[in-house]
Amino acid sequence: MEKNLKRPELLLPAGSKEKLDYAIHYGADAVYMGMVDFSLRAMRKGELITSDNLKECIEFAHSFNKKVYLTLNIFAYNNDISLLIEQTEKIKDAKPDAILFSDFGIYNVIKKYMPEIPLHVSTQTNILNYEAVRFWQDLGAVRVVLSRDLSLKQIEEIKNKVPDMELEVFVHGAQCVSFSGRCLISDYMTKGERKANHGNCSQSCRWSYKLVEETRDGEYFDIEQNERGTHILSPKDLALINYIPRLIDVGIDSFKIEGRTKSLYYVSAVAKAYKKAIDDYLETGKINEEENYNEIIKIGNRGYTTGFYLMPPNSEGYSYDISKGLAGADCLCVFMEKCGNMFKVLTKNKFLLNDEIEIITPKECFKATVTKIVDDKTNEEKQLSNTNDISLIEVSKSPEDYKYALARTIGVKNLR
């Protein structure tokens, strides 16, 4: 390419130690992670990241020359501030590359107790203009995460006005119906038990609703959205993979993927897809839009939209028919270790003997056939491997590096 373009950072979620590992090996330049008490995504399974293992996780990422950003982005109450102050020595000792925050009280704690750690400002602060960026720059921040409610043109103007400030934008993942995620629906619908801005959102916007009109004494009329259903508050997922060239040209510093609570397959596959798009553009000056789209529809989604980036979203930007993301390809198993000519795998979705599967690794993607399945405990051959089974399988073509290999179904289903 003639243009000398800066390579953007690919920033992946690390909702657990295992997802941290896979995100790094599938292409992340940096990861963001939150301790269970201070994160806007409360993890419920997997090996959680806590104050006790935070240093170990960060050192692991640093061993691969990857950066780690610690998310302390809840809106904090008094007890949260007290608890955070108690944890500051452990956080400093862990040496995160930056702390992401949204609350002014947490900002004060960081500046007072951890002034050496760089500051990133969360999208929760609703940064919509260049003067807001300058405001945070004056307060010592080195990066801001722009609001998802901005267009590409507005983002470009901000970058031109404040070129010496790092800008991070979301490029993929679930979107909140509220302005930059400042939502009270979950709090209201759960009577205060599931606070959205305290890491415990119930995703009430994904529930099915009916509009009720009261114009006469005691008479109510259900008003349904249309024949597709009534998920009128549920936006489709953001996907900007085919706009990577424009974002690179603008000079965005970091491309952020949403999804700390998403599956291991999601983290791996979305990292692989976006890394390839970035590499393709920087190396050849173009991307394969059809190939990119075919890859991301294999990942769990509610349908895709470009959000506010190209034009204000309309009714086509909402998912009326489903509340949970559906993947175009099912993750079948995770490869665990090699045993002679066979592989020990953890089964995520049932597969059968002689099934044709697609195996993906950080560097490969190819089709293969399951030629043998053996029960890990009894050592007996069997016709299928059920969900959650640990099995030994033989495949017609083996991955070169099995350690981070995953298998999924071939083709695309649930196409929307």
Which domains are seen in the chain, by residue range?
9-178+234-317 (3.20.20.70), 331-408 (2.40.30.10)
Which of 222-236, 302-316, 349-363 shows the lowest per-residue confidence on average (mean pLDDT)? 222-236
231 has a pLDDT exceeding 60: no
Q: How confident is the model at residue 415 (pLDDT cuts 50, 70, 90)?
A: low
Tell me the three state secondary structure of residue 331.
strand
Select the more confidently predicted residue: 416 or 149. Answer: 149
Q: What is the pLDDT of residue 32?
A: 97
Contact status, residue 197 vs residue 124, Cβ threshold 8 Å:
yes
pTM of the model: 0.86
Residue 354 burial by Cβ neighbours in a 10 Å radius (0-12, 13-18, 19+):
exposed
Mean pLDDT across the chain: 87
DSSP-derived letter for residue 242 is G
Select the more confidently predicted residue: 408 or 233. Answer: 408
- Of 43, 52, 8, nearest to 29 by C-alpha is 8
Q: What is the pLDDT of residue 221?
A: 45
What's the pLDDT tens digit per position in 65-81?
999 999 998 888 999 99
* Number of alpha carbons in the 13 Å side-chain half-sphere of residue 110: 24
Which of 68-82, 180-194, 356-370 shows the lowest per-residue confidence on average (mean pLDDT)? 180-194
What's the pLDDT tens digit per position in 327-346?
889 999 999 999 999 999 99
Q: What is the pLDDT of residue 376?
A: 94
Tokens read off for 303:
């349908």
Select the more confidently predicted residue: 326 or 310. Answer: 310
Query: What's the rounded mean pLDDT across residues 130-145?
Result: 98
- Of 347, 356, 318, 325, nearest to 262 by C-alpha is 325
202 has a pLDDT exceeding 50: yes
304 has a pLDDT exceeding 60: yes
Q: What is the pLDDT of residue 413?
A: 77
Q: What is the pLDDT of residue 223?
A: 41
Whole-angstrom distance, CA of residue 101 vs CA of residue 26: 27
